[in-house]
Amino acid sequence: MAKKKKKKKSARKVRVQFKKNRQSRTRFQDLTKQSHENQEQIEDLETGERLSGKGRLSRYRTVIADDDGRTVDESTCLKGRVLRSIGANSISVQLQDGRKLMCSVRQVLRTMARDGRNAVVAGDHVLLTPLSETDGVIERVEPRFGTLTRISRGEAHVIVANVDQAVIVASVNEPVLKPGLIDRFLCSTEKGDIRGIICLNKMDLGDRVRLQKIAGIYSRLGYQVLMTNALTGEGIDELKRLLLEKETVFTGQSGVGKSSLLNAVQPKLGQLTSSVSGDSHKGRHTTRVTELIPLDGGGWVVDTPGIRQLQLWDVQTEEIEGLFIEFRPFVTRCRFPNCSHTHETNCDVKSAVEAGLIAPLRYQSFLRMVLNENKHQRTPSTQQVNEDEFF
């Protein structure tokens, strides 16, 4: 009996969108230049001009793909996990067999249109072609889940991908505690579909009675709150338990003690640390690169550079209310369906704040975020909350 021939995968052409990053659009007429050169005949100039959408570099390019739309031959590729990414040509990838390769990113992947500034980030699952025992080239990035993202220079900056939870580290002093920044991080974790854990560090520098109030706000919302001290070991055992068999990103301001906590969790990590600036009372950047680090007991941690400001990516003003989990039961009961919860009458969210069902400090964070998204609008006529008075 004759053997059946294997059916070959049919190939098809696919139009892929690319960034136009090498040439500006062609201008067929320059009315500004002509108006300066022909002052006397300015009224006779044409009143319109056209910009070409292509120029010599097309916005689209044709690539050959299989029927399933994939442009990479998986049979010749290896699977790996990005441990560290510096630019497009210095990316450390760990393969499934434990080997590590230093990789670059294929040009076709680098130039494909993306909202983000980085094509490959720490935590990505990738397909790569090995070039030698130590080098390779990344062909494709698998779909991401569990991301922590912010805006940087008008583009999406994915800090890390494919993690389970984020430990938001905030020092109680040096640098000063900023509940508003904690709330922004929590909104980012809600948006990225990862679990948010709050870690109040340097407990020896703060008033415990005062700090119990703010810890209570987040605990009542269902967020895990840890009180730690990397120097004395307070809270470290509980932190280790939360990290076990999980993939966790440590994030927060510079100088809050992220690297010190990681060194306390696993002394062999040897993460660099530094003190807070005596002039600005702000943290100094010690960790320069986002990096995945394996834990001895199982799981991974991700140490990240400090972030002083966090602006949410891909979040419309109307979405912010949904990222504050305690707002959700009340937003549908407002009088107006498009209520912004800032100045309207018969707003159930504002009523919940007055009744003590929503913490005034959290509501104040919401207002700041709404104002940040609507910089050109008038400030809502709401009562401002003084954080010192709250405590």
341 assigned ligand-binding residue: yes
- The pair of structure tokens assigned to 340 is 């912004």
Looking at 100, 116, 141, the residue that finishes a domain is: 141
Domain residue limits at 383? 317-390
Residue 129 sits in the same domain as residue 234: no
339 assigned ligand-binding residue: yes
204 assigned ligand-binding residue: yes
Nearest to 343 by CA among 378, 310, 388, 312: 378
233 assigned ligand-binding residue: no
Residue 88, pLDDT above cutoff 70: yes
Confidence tier at 12 by pLDDT (50, 70, 90): low
Q: What is the pTM of this model?
A: 0.73
Of these ranges, 11-20, 233-242, 280-289, 295-304, the one predicted with the greatest mean pLDDT is: 233-242
Count how many domains the chain has.
Answer: 3
- The pair of structure tokens assigned to 52 is 């070409």
* DSSP 3-state of 228: coil
347 assigned ligand-binding residue: yes
Average pLDDT, the chain: 78
Residue 335, pLDDT above cutoff 50: yes
CATH of the domain at 340: 1.10.40.50
55 assigned ligand-binding residue: no
Residue 137 sits in the same domain as residue 152: no
Identity of the amino acid at 223? Y
Place of tokens 């950047």: 285
Residue 291 sits in the same domain as residue 336: no
Element of type H or E holding 183? helix 179-192
34 assigned ligand-binding residue: no
The more confident residue out of 184 and 57 is: 184
80 assigned ligand-binding residue: no
CATH of the domain at 178: 3.40.50.300
Residue 105 sits in the same domain as residue 164: no
Element of type H or E holding 37? helix 31-37
Residue 188 sits in the same domain as residue 285: yes
